[in-house]
A and B are shown apart, each in its own frame.
Chain A
Amino acid sequence: MNQPAGDVLLEVSDLKVHFPIKSGVVFDRTVGHVFAVDGVDLAIRRGETYGLVGESGCGKSTLGRAILRLNEPTSGSVKFDGTDVARLKGEELRKARRRMQMIFQDPMSSLDPRQSVESILVEGMHAHGLDKDKEATQRRLRQLLSAVGLPETSLRKYPHEFSGGQRQRIGIARALAVEPDLIVADEPVSALDVSVQAQVVNLLEDLQDQLGLTYVVIAHDLAVVRHISDRIGVMYLGALVEETDADSLYRDPLHPYTRALLSAIPVPDPQVEDTREQILLAGDLPSPANPPSGCRFHTRCPWKQASLCDTDRPQLREIGSGHRVACHYAEDIRDGRIQPHEVKPELVELTGALNPDLGPPDIGTSAEIL
């Protein structure tokens, strides 16, 4: 994989995204919050691929969108190449968007069904005045299609005439059309067939080599993320719990959640599956609207200790070079001084619980029901 070159392109500081939960008959009152992203710090270098993993409810998609200002950050800063994107407004924001693009998960809904491929690709270029020269624009369109492996005849066609993998390629071409520096890929392959996933993964890697792109890859499939990323951050309930380079994460996971996550991933190898040790987590994910006190993970943690875990929220701290963990007892667990124990599963009350990765909850009034 590429050696990450140079300077920090994206710096996120104490980013919080809290969605209000509204309720009421005539007027909406805010009765609570979903703490989708609750204080995240990270720095991404130009040219590297940063993987963001976690399960549903961890806030990784919300974080990805907040970086691109597709969700409004509640507080914190997102410094892209020095400029705090979270503070920009109006025309300045619109112009700044050009350099950070997104690839979406669902190839069906991420392309406007009523526009031709050509129209879809040109739209972004037009918004930034890049399509003034007609001939150059046509050349660029052909280049884009060729770069993602689609024939020129695709320009006149409509999204529904393509397969899922091909639509995803159109989405990638669309993102590339405005010549961005950063691409946030939100579950870029999870909606595709397994045999097609590898095609798109390879494509993304090739494009990065050719164009020097910086990627943030958000996914729940740790195997795919590990393959494509230089560094990986693991999220749980709105916070980063561990961050390190891809090899170390697999070889040397320090956070209990990471260890459970790794042991849960099915491996297509019967020998491994039969013999490896499984750390099964008990019970459900707590509600992001009502997170546990102290360490968010303590309710399910097999290594939970009597003190600190349920009172103090651990900060992300550095253990070993470039390896950050948010756990009070990380060193003790690593060195075997603490053993895992049985956890009694707690059922989580789901009234009012929401999945922050689905975007802002639209709990409207009863009259909203059409």
Chain B
Amino acid sequence: MNTLLNKKKEPIDKLAAASGRSLGGEALRRMLRSPVAITGGAITGLFLLLAIFAPLLAPKDPLDRTLQDQVQLGRGIIPGSMPGYPLGVDDFGRDFLSRLIVGAQQTLLVGVLATVIGVLIGVLIGGIAGAFGGWVDTVLMRLVDVMLSFPSLLLAISIAALFANPSQWTVILAVSMVGVPIFARLLRGSMLVQRDADHVLAATSLGVKRGAIVFRHMLPNSLGPVIVQATLTLATSILEAAALSFLGLGDPDPSRAEWGLMLGKASRQFLDIRPELAYYPAIAIIIVALGFTLLGESLREALDPKNRR
């Protein structure tokens, strides 16, 4: 073994600090200073809290059709605001406010699940394509191209319509498919760039095994755009699920409280009787989508290496 002599050290002040600051840590710091991030984070955070604690927060049982006898659809009457029912009731006499609150839970579920499934499948496809290259890459990307050639809503509709028995899960699956080609392309693109990166070449020349290179060098540096896109996709997934329900391709069960469902039914049937039944779910969806989008945008800016220093 060669012996290395001690070299005189350069006087370097900055390096005297003991611990290191990782890129993730710096990104977080930057986000905490950005008003956009804080706004987006606040909205998203509130929404998450609402969704998690919904059953506790709802004043009344959303399934309880107590005031059903007060609803006379034939005569165009759905009771509005009254003591105990601040937002009135829906077409089945259920407390509207409670349904809105509980709806947060279902909506979040749809958004998160659709995104997560989309990410998992997309990252798998993109990762394989990017890691192997060659004909594997070509074949997979042509498949992705086909999926991408559909407008997103049309793709979701087509897939949802394939199922004989529409349900919450068919909606989630259909919406997740919209995200798959996006994430696949995104990851594969990043991995392609990484493949030619000097530090990947360095790892190869050091004799590091191929698997380790993919998982330690290429993937972590490629996931940034995917994470950002995921937050944005969360927002659009909620919107697309709502659209599917609106078109009647979603869960036909009327007792389920989900903003998209509520919006769909109300905007088809009750707009002239009690338009609030459609407005409030719509506004709720928009606010949540905004929250996720702001968060995603500020995350993208925070992770952008050009903003460093």
Contacts and interface: CB of A to CB of B under 8 A. Distances in A.
Interface of A: 26-27, 65, 68, 70, 94-95, 97-98, 100-102, 104-106, 109-117, 123-124, 127-128, 143-144, 146-151, 153-154, 156-158, 160-162, 166, 171, 174, 178-179, 206, 210-212, 359, 362, 367-368, 370
Nearest to A370: B189
A309 B119 CA distance: 61
Interface residues of B, number: 46
B216 interface: yes
B162 interface: no
Contacts, number: 134
Interface string B206-222: 11110010001100110
A113 B208 CA distance: 17
Interface of B: 1-2, 4-10, 12, 14-23, 138, 141-142, 145, 185, 189, 196-199, 201-209, 212, 216-217, 220-221, 305, 308
A210 B2 contact: yes
A102 B18 contact: no
Contacts of B208: 123-124, 127
Nearest to B190: A370
B22 A153 contact: no
Contacts of A68: 205
Contacts of A153: 15-18
B207 A151 contact: no
Contact of A124 (B2, B18, B197, B207): B207
Contact of A149 (B10, B20, B138): B10
Contacts of A149: 7-10
Contacts of A212: 2
Contact of A161 (B14, B18, B196, B206): B14
A367 B23 contact: no
Closest 10 pairs (CB-CB, A-B): A124-B206, A157-B20, A110-B198, A97-B207, A147-B4, A112-B199, A156-B20, A109-B198, A127-B208, A104-B198
A143 to B, nearest CB: 5
Contacts of B201: 65, 70, 102, 104
A157 B2 contact: no
11 contacts: A95-B207, A101-B206, A102-B205, A112-B217, A117-B20, A150-B9, A157-B20, A161-B20, A166-B15, A206-B7, A210-B2
Contacts of A97: 204-207
A149 B7 CA distance: 6
A160 B197 CA distance: 16
Contacts of B145: 367
Contact of A113 (B2, B23, B141): B23
A140 to B, nearest CB: 9
Nearest to B202: A110
Contact of B305 (A105, A113, A157): A113
B4 A179 contact: no
Contacts of B12: 150-151, 166
Contacts of B6: 146-147
